[in-house]
């Protein structure tokens, strides 16, 4: 490749193009179970990781995902098996859909059961174990697909156990305020920052956290008391304080648990962030861009392609679901357009005032 290979693409006077949305898609429980059994029937891989990416028909290399930028992986461990250590600069949300076991991450042990959620920070060494008598099946959600699109997804197998040693030639960093500070250039909000702060931003500990379904369910079930008059979604975010105002489980994703009482219909809405739902109790339907998609317990669904109009409804039984969205990423990029009510204006969440519900009028749900 040389300078002669560089292209200039003339866009003078060019019109804008509306993105073509990936269609919503439902992966049935039966298909997920068949793939889990296929993985379980294989000889043990050398690294112990029996896994298959769940790829949308519209996805292209690099960065295959169930949504653009979101990879969902089905992972299996047989009783008594464990995986080899690994680390990568993608972050993960883990969700157990069968069995249980343990994850060793950052030197700590997380013991998980069915429907528990836990996260892995970037570059944290981890492995999984299955000390039970049942098959262990997990869904893993990561931003690996996005990083692969950016050509910066770094993975290290069997990383060394020792911590990196600082370069003795590095200038020792003094705690507290640096001698060279950021300053307001002109009093109108435009600031300047020196290199010394640029390469040493404030660090915030990133930890692996665990949300037990048993504990989460106790709080979630209280939201059923809100009744049919409630104009909102009965949702609790599994919040990681590391994400601050990005409202995330990781800096890339939020993971929420939702309860839908029988015969509840949400109002249509849309948002830039993509949403992937796993339904693990009940049945219902989602209407996405005018098409109706029935679903049941055990189904996985790309339920909201970015900016696609959608709403969800439960049938005549209680529904529980896990939802993964790349909302924190879009908040950080100031790209999170959100329209809670299609008859009212949208907002750039995080930069403008957001939306409210009528919860104070119908009760707290506590």
Could you read off the pLDDT of 283-321 as tens digits, one per residue?
999 999 999 999 999 999 999 999 999 999 999 999 999
Residue 181 pLDDT grade (very low, low, confident, very high; cuts 50, 70, 90): confident
Span 184-192, average pLDDT: 90
Q: Which of 250, 299, 258 is nearest to 139 (CA)?
A: 299
pLDDT at residue 366 greater than cutoff 70: no
Q: What span, in angstroms and rounded, lies between the C-alpha atoms of 94 and 114?
A: 11
pLDDT value of position 83: 98
Name the 3-class secondary structure at 61.
Answer: coil
Taking domain 210-338, whether its CATH number is 2.60.120.10 is answered by yes
DSSP state of 174: P
The string of pLDDT tens digits covering residues 269-284 is 999 999 999 999 999 9
Span 167-193, average pLDDT: 72
Task: Determine how β-strand 155-157 pairs with β-strand 86-88.
Answer: antiparallel
Name the 3-class secondary structure at 329.
Answer: helix
Q: Poorest-confidence range of 77-81, 191-195, 214-218?
A: 191-195
Q: Do domains 25-157 and 210-338 have the same CATH topology?
A: yes
pLDDT value of position 360: 83
pLDDT at residue 165 greater than cutoff 70: no
pLDDT value of position 230: 87
pLDDT value of position 361: 80
Q: How far, in whole angstroms, is CA 86 from its chain's centroid?
A: 20
The string of pLDDT tens digits covering residues 114-141 is 999 999 999 999 999 999 999 999 999 9
pLDDT value of position 161: 72
25-157 CATH pick, 1.10.10.10, 3.60.20.10, 3.90.600.10, 2.60.120.10: 2.60.120.10
pLDDT value of position 96: 98
More confident site: 111 or 1 = 111
Residue 180 pLDDT grade (very low, low, confident, very high; cuts 50, 70, 90): confident
Max Cα-Cα span within the chain: 67
Phi, psi of 278 (to 5 degrees): -120, 120
Q: Poorest-confidence range of 150-159, 224-233, 338-347?
A: 224-233
Mean pLDDT of the chain: 92
Phi, psi of 105 (to 5 degrees): -145, 135
Residue 221 pLDDT grade (very low, low, confident, very high; cuts 50, 70, 90): very high
Residue 358 pLDDT grade (very low, low, confident, very high; cuts 50, 70, 90): confident
Span 214-234, average pLDDT: 91
The string of pLDDT tens digits covering residues 59-97 is 999 999 999 999 999 999 999 999 999 999 999 999 999
Q: What percent of the chain has pLDDT over 70?
A: 94
Domain boundaries, the chain: 25-157, 210-338
**What residues are paired with 71 via a beta bridge?**
142
Span 95-103, average pLDDT: 98
Residue 362, classified by CB atoms within 10 Å of its CB into exposed (0-12), middle (13-18) or buried (19+), is middle
Q: What percent of the chain has pLDDT over 90?
A: 78
């Amino acid at each position: 490749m040389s300078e002669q290979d560089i292209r200039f693409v003339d866009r003078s006077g060019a019109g804008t193009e509306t993105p073509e949305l990936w269609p919503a898609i439902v992966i049935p429980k039966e298909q997920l179970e068949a793939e889990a059994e296929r993985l379980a029937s294989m000889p043990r891989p050398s690294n112990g990781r029996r896994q298959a990416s769940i790829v949308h028909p519209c996805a292209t290399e690099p960065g295959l995902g169930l949504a653009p930028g979101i990879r969902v992986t089905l992972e299996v461990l047989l009783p008594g098996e464990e995986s080899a250590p690994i680390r990568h600069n993608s972050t993960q949300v883990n969700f157990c859909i069968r069995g249980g076991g343990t994850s060793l991450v950052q030197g700590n042990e997380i013991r998980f059961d069915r429907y528990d959620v836990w996260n892995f920070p970037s570059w944290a060494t981890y492995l999984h174990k299955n000390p039970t008598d049942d098959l262990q099946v997990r869904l893993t959600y990561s931003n690996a697909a996005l990083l692969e699109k950016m050509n910066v997804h770094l993975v290290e197998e069997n990383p060394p156990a020792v911590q990196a040693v600082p370069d003795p030639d590095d200038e020792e960093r003094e705690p507290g305020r640096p001698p060279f500070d950021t300053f307001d250039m002109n009093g109108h909000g435009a600031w300047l920052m020196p290199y010394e702060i640029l390469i040493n931003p404030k660090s915030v500990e990133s930890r692996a956290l665990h949300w037990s379904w048993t504990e989460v369910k106790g709080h979630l079930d209280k939201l059923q008391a809100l009744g049919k008059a409630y104009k909102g979604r009965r949702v609790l975010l599994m919040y990681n304080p590391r994400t601050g105002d990005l409202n995330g489980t990781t800096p890339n994703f939020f993971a929420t648990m939702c309860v839908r009482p029988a015969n509840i219909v949400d109002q249509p809405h849309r948002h830039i962030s993509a949403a992937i739902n796993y339904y693990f109790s009940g049945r219902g339907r989602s209407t996405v861009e005018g098409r109706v998609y029935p679903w049941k317990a055990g189904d996985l669904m790309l339920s909201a392609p970015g900016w696609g109009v959608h709403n969800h409804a439960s049938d005549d039984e209680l529904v529980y679901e896990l939802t993964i969205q790349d909302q924190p990423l879009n908040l950080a990029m100031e790209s999170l357009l959100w329209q809670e009510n299609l008859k009212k204006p949208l907002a750039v969440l995080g930069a403008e005032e957001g939306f409210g519900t009528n919860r104070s009028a119908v009760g707290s749900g506590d």
